[in-house]
Structure 1
Amino acid sequence: MLHDRVLVRISPEDGERRSSGGIVIPATAQMAKRLAWGDVLGVGTGVRHVKVGDRVLFNPEDQLEVEVQAQTYLVMRERDVHAVAKELTDHGTGLYL
């Protein structure tokens, strides 16, 4: 990757989801715009706040897709990342933004 670009693979759990009442909502259901979680697989030399292996929150509709060895990835600028998830293991468990 070059400059401030980030290569992301969308997390597989972003497909089908369940409501709090247990109703299955298919991935094709149209709702309001949703942000997606993804795993960072590569970063450019100008990226400062994201590293390989991080989970990031972003808008998948505004990104460019690229296919490498039959896998689809997204390429975005670092500024298009809304949040980076960190897992704190010192005193508790869970995912923190």
Structure 2
Amino acid sequence: MSQVNITPLADRVLVEPAAAEEKTASGIIIPDTAKEKPQKGSIVAIGTGKKDEPLTVKVGDQVLYGKYAGTEITVEGKDYLMMRESDIFAIV
């Protein structure tokens, strides 16, 4: 897990996406052009939550999120997604 010098505000979280699958379960190698965006990642930073709604996720949680959730940002050469906690479907 990465350490970043970013603190999300309110109900936002910073997610490090999992690596895209390199091959299928049956062993077929997936070319770069056909790889899908991962929908799983780990939380590396969280905001403070809203006044009436504390965050339910914590740093280090593995989460599932929507295919097009969040905003892609790059910090110190690494790619992350900044999203609201409501964009997260589940903790795995």
* TM-score by shorter chain over 0.5: yes
Q: Secondary structure at the match of 1:28?
A: helix
- Tell me which residue corresponds to 2:31: 26
Gaps of 5+ in 2: 1-7
Show the 5 A alignment for 1:50-89: 50-85=57-92
Higher relative contact order (CA 8 A, sep 6+): 2
**Structure with greater Cα Rg:** 1
- Tell me which residue corresponds to 2:23: 17
Number of residue pairs aligned between Structure 1 and Structure 2: 81
Normalised TM-score (structure 1): 0.71
Percent identity, aligned pairs only? 41
Paired letter, 1:76: M
The answer (yes or no) to whether the contact 1:35–1:57 under 8 Å persists in 2 is no
Q: Could you give the per-residue CA deviations for residues 10-62 of structure 1, whole angstroms, max 9, x where no partner exists? A: 112x232323x32222343177xx76110100011115210000000012423
Could you say which structure has the higher strand fraction? 1
The answer (yes or no) to whether the contact 1:17–1:27 under 8 Å persists in 2 is no
After superposition, the Cα gap between the structure-2 partners of 1:15 and 1:28, relative to the gap in structure 1 and judged at 3 Å, is farther
- Structure 2 Cα separation of the partners of residues 60 and 9 of structure 1: 14
Gaps of 5+ in 1: 86-97
- Structure 2 Cα separation of the partners of residues 41 and 16 of structure 1: 23
